[in-house]
Structure 1
Amino acid sequence: MSEPTDDRPVVLRGGTVLTVDATHQVLAGHDVLVTGDRIAAIGVGLSVPEGTVEIDAAGGIVMPGMIDTHRHLWQTAMRGYGADWTLTQYFVWYYLEWGKIFRPQDVYAGNLLGAIEAIDAGVTTTVDWSHGLQTTEHADAAVDALQAVPGRFVLAYGNIQDAPANWTGTPEFRDFARRRFESLDSWDMLGFQLAFDVTGEPTFPERPAFEVARDLGVPVTTHAGVWGATGDDSIRVMYDNGFMTPDTVYVHSASLSADSYHRIAATGGSVSVSTESEQSAGQGYPPTWALRRHGIPVSLSMDTSVWWSGDLFSAMRATLGADRSREHMAAHVDGNTVTHSALRAEQVVDWATRGGAAALGREADLGSIEVGKKADIVLIRNEHSPVSFPLLHPHGHVAFQAQRGDVDTVLVNGRIVKRDHRLVGVDLAAARSAVEDTVAHLRSTLGEEAWQQGMNPDIPETKVLDNPYTYTTYQSTSTHSA
């Protein structure tokens, strides 16, 4: 792919700037100057160096690039296929039946399309929760795709086809980590995590994987509080063995008890909420109300395009709706009326930006519009849309009115990767060709009957264990009894 842009300074002129700093300032009619990879100045009528690229932001919103802390990019090639799935059907299709037929080139195709989709929607940093890496050849393909797209990514390495203790303990995995990550410059544009789930089995079979993460100095991200799969026993065994840390990201956390939330809060971890997923798939009710009650930091994520949208505008909208809906329902049960919303639009905008930066340990240089920070910036402006005006409540406009089609300009690390609603330096035709090849492979391997049945499922005949992770038969009492 071609380079996204040259290295000239860039100034966005006259926009409404949502700083999303600690005070959530809104600066009307301000300019933002970018030099190199940093925000150099914020002000009105800024003087800029000769040759600066001028971008008209008048009437638009300038905000930090959004950060998605949990997205299964490898599944993007199957966009919309599982629209009517439950979580059980997802487990059956990927974990038990067909996930193993994905080739390295299929992981590449999904990652490539998903990564392009992210920057197109103003998501400048994405955690690729890549649990389809059956071999290091699959992992190399995943990284190759991420590095082919001008965005900021984190590879969260996982393998749902094997026990975490097994795949993290192989020489091939160690070699991959050394080859692909030891030489990177502080993991600025491409970070590294380990992605695996904890069954809650008292023998703690995941301990060796945690020890590998500790040895490599990388965070762990784990699906926690997923009904029928990972529950309070999972949190308890992590806590008792000393593996709950401030850099641990707990995804969903939607079916946990107060005891588990206390443990997450006490150890400084954060939760990635995927509201569209939790509402539809069945992990539990989106837990933002409980997380706020326990003071647990929140970031947002969209999970997978097999079901849902690939942008964070819909995530913000769904999160506000779910939190407020629960608040109203709880009040109605007691015969009361909610007269003031507890969760505000500016808070979910914060979760979609600065919250993600904090979850990744990057709050010092990402997630807000402040002088000296990395220039990951999004301009929301659509002169051809009647929804673009009037702009009265900027945070509310982002959360409830804006959509991916309103993303006019995106800068990542100071470089323009989208301008005038068109991607820069991206070969979309190549991504289409790769994805079409993957779909053809999947469809021919399954056969037409299985392909159609998978997309329009009945209750699966396959035996689904209480715990879908086939490397153990343990059944947790905190999810379902044996």
Structure 2
Amino acid sequence: MNGTSTPAWNDGFRDRPLVFRGGTVLSMDDRRTVHTEADVLIVGDRIKEIGPRLAVPEGTVEIDATGGIVMPGMIDTHRHMWQSTMRGYGADWTITQYFVWYYLEHGKRFRPEDIHAGNLLSAVEALDAGVTTTVDWSHGLRTVEHADAAVDALEEIPGRFVLAYGNIHEAPWQWSTAPEFRDFVGRRLHGNDKVGFQMAFDVTGDPAFPEKAAFEVARDLGATVTTHAGVWGATGDDGIRLMHDHGFMTPGALYVHAATLSADSYHRIAATGGSVSVSTESEQTCGQGYPPTWILRAHDIPVSLSMDTSVWWSADLFSAMRATLGADRAREHLQAHAANETVTHLRLRAEHVVEWATRGGARALGLDDEVGSLEVGKKADVVLIKNEHSPAMFPILNPYGHVAFQAQRGDVHTVVVDGRVVKHDHRLVGIDLAKARRTAEATVAHLRADLGADAWERGMNPDIPETKVLDNPYTYTDYRSATTHGG
């Protein structure tokens, strides 16, 4: 094994080469090459070589990947990380109840330290599940103090993150043009190799297009815009048309959900080089619309996957891949049955969703030259799926099918980000999990006390309000339309 040695799992080995030995390697390159019984050599923060029985430098740390799957780190393109301390709280919510809780009422109670706590916990759980890059769709940033707290947390955890700056409690044309926002971007995000930058806001469809000012700020700052588009009862074709007519549907724009749009809108997204972040568990549970992978494929629109929020779901992309295959295939079968036909060959394959969970995310974020696949010269964001104590982890016959249907968070053996091991032998490395627990518990205690015990309990199973506050969840505007059910 040419000078390999037993690893010492501490910061002392971070400057040493690293090799995964003898695994099934899903490269996710252009040919979706699968290497069997292959090694992946990492030197510094880059992949140096892939192949069988590699000769490695003296002092290389060796990880036995035999019987496991080595794949690129997964990429989540839309996660409301600030909400993670409320894990499972809204398990029986609809999106209506989500809007009431976060947009209209209790979301305003989050302090900067609560944003920090949510981001810290979410960043840790992402790495634990093999998600090495996460877009923090951070629309709870009511002040720049909240934003500073969000970035502080992201910089504390050794993952790869993109801060999508948003504020659901103020109009985007107001917060984006405030001098303190530009100051924050200059202080915390320009030149930040640790945390990328997007702007996150929605377009209501108001013909006056007040969001134009926010798009102009994004263009001036060189920031990609990510927006919830095609969400039943909130955003629709009018917003897409306004963006297009004013020249803001640009390559790299990231549309979240996109589940209730017309063919015209899908054509516009495809023609302008946009992509869609699909959150299948969210769409099929909350009612944004039927998970749209079937129609995105028909329009050749690039897809990435996301988990949305831990208020409902597990926050790992194994669940996202599984749910996406299920929803897409269920629709295909039902459509065939309605025509008295039988599906004999499935269109959406396991390899497709594995690609969406990895390279699809890299392409959506403009990071395809760096991450998303295991290729020589790319950044070393690598995940080993292996669990010798699980009967579900052998035999591995179809590695794509195994990742999409058999594996789960507990099977993530090792995670490497930028050449640094952040999880090994199923345990996080160099991460203060106890601190994440303490900060999460402090936020829960604050919210519970601020709301009162009765209101806190009722919030888990809220009644739909009798007032028509839900005609427009965007409280910063009086605009109503058929899209928001108030026109």
Which TM-score applies when normalising by structure 2? 0.97
Q: Which amino acid aligns with 2:218?
A: A
Decide whether the 8 Å contact of 2:96 with 2:470 is kept in 1. Answer: no
Alignment partner, residue 99 of structure 2? 91
1:396 corresponds to which of 392, 395, 401: 401
Alignment partner, residue 198 of structure 1? 203
1:272 corresponds to which of 255, 277, 282: 277
Q: Which amino acid aligns with 1:297?
A: P
Alignment partner, residue 7 of structure 2? none
**SS where residue 192 of structure 1 aligns?**
strand
Superposed counterparts of 1:151-300, under 5 Å = 151-184=159-192, 187=193, 189-300=194-305
Alignment partner, residue 467 of structure 1? 472
**SS where residue 321 of structure 2 aligns?**
helix
2: CA distance, partners of 1:45 / 1:125: 29
Alignment partner of 1:25 is 2:30: no
Alignment partner of 1:385 is 2:393: no
1:130 corresponds to which of 125, 138, 161: 138
Alignment partner of 1:35 is 2:43: yes
Alignment partner, residue 114 of structure 1? 122
1: CA distance, partners of 2:217 / 2:11: 36
1: CA distance, partners of 2:171 / 2:90: 25
TM-superposed CA distance for 1:393, in Å, is 0.2
TM-superposed CA distance for 1:475, in Å, is 1.9
**SS where residue 353 of structure 1 aligns?**
helix
Alignment partner, residue 356 of structure 1? 361
1: CA distance, partners of 2:69 / 2:468: 50
TM-superposed CA distance for 1:463, in Å, is 2.9
2: CA distance, partners of 1:218 / 1:459: 37
2: CA distance, partners of 1:478 / 1:147: 38
**SS where residue 163 of structure 2 aligns?**
strand
TM-superposed CA distance for 1:479, in Å, is 5.2
Task: Report how many residues are paired.
Answer: 478
TM-superposed CA distance for 1:374, in Å, is 0.5
Decide whether the 8 Å contact of 1:88 with 1:464 is kept in 2. Answer: no
Q: Which amino acid aligns with 2:245?
A: D
1: CA distance, partners of 2:398 / 2:469: 47
1: CA distance, partners of 2:458 / 2:229: 29
Deviation readout 1:337-388 (Å, 9 max, x if unpaired): 1010000000000000000000000111110011011000000000000001
Alignment partner, residue 378 of structure 2? 373
TM-superposed CA distance for 1:473, in Å, is 1.8
2: CA distance, partners of 1:463 / 1:7: 59
Alignment partner, residue 6 of structure 2? none
Aligned residues with identical type, % of pairs: 73
Q: Which amino acid aligns with 2:320?
A: A
1:53 corresponds to which of 44, 53, 61: 61
Deviation readout 1:163-216 (Å, 9 max, x if unpaired): 0000011111011000002232xx4x3100000000010000101100000000
Decide whether the 8 Å contact of 2:83 with 2:311 is kept in 1. Answer: yes
TM-superposed CA distance for 1:309, in Å, is 1.1
Q: Which amino acid aligns with 1:430?
A: K
TM-superposed CA distance for 1:3, in Å, is 5.2
**SS where residue 338 of structure 1 aligns?**
coil
Q: Gapped runs of 5+ residues in structure 2?
A: 1-9
- Computed over aligned residues only, the root mean square deviation of the Cα atoms, in angstroms, reads 1.1
Alignment partner, residue 409 of structure 1? 414
TM-superposed CA distance for 1:452, in Å, is 0.7
Comparing 377-386 with 451-460, greater Cα deviation is found at 451-460
Alignment partner, residue 342 of structure 1? 347
TM-superposed CA distance for 1:474, in Å, is 1.5
Q: CA 1:421–1:462 in 2, change beyond 3 Å: closer, same or farther? A: farther
Decide whether the 8 Å contact of 2:81 with 2:138 is kept in 1. Answer: yes
Superposed counterparts of 1:383-462, under 5 Å = 383-462=388-467
Decide whether the 8 Å contact of 1:5 with 1:417 is kept in 2. Answer: no
Alignment partner, residue 103 of structure 1? 111
**SS where residue 315 of structure 2 aligns?**
coil
Which TM-score applies when normalising by structure 1? 0.98
2: CA distance, partners of 1:111 / 1:343: 33
TM-superposed CA distance for 1:298, in Å, is 0.2
2: CA distance, partners of 1:269 / 1:353: 17
1: CA distance, partners of 2:367 / 2:246: 27
Q: Which amino acid aligns with 2:121?
A: L
Alignment partner of 1:15 is 2:50: no
Q: Which amino acid aligns with 1:117?
A: E
Q: Which amino acid aligns with 1:19?
A: S
1: CA distance, partners of 2:366 / 2:282: 25
1: CA distance, partners of 2:14 / 2:43: 12
2: CA distance, partners of 1:481 / 1:267: 31
Q: Which amino acid aligns with 2:250?
A: T
Q: CA 1:418–1:454 in 2, change beyond 3 Å: closer, same or farther? A: same
1: CA distance, partners of 2:174 / 2:119: 24
2: CA distance, partners of 1:384 / 1:313: 19
2: CA distance, partners of 1:467 / 1:215: 29
1: CA distance, partners of 2:246 / 2:226: 16
**SS where residue 98 of structure 1 aligns?**
helix
Q: Gapped runs of 5+ residues in structure 1?
A: none
Alignment partner of 1:142 is 2:147: no
**SS where residue 100 of structure 1 aligns?**
helix
2: CA distance, partners of 1:449 / 1:156: 34
Decide whether the 8 Å contact of 1:86 with 1:280 is kept in 2. Answer: yes
**SS where residue 248 of structure 2 aligns?**
coil
Q: CA 1:444–1:5 in 2, change beyond 3 Å: closer, same or farther? A: farther
Q: Which amino acid aligns with 2:54?
A: L
Alignment partner, residue 476 of structure 1? 481
TM-superposed CA distance for 1:480, in Å, is 3.1
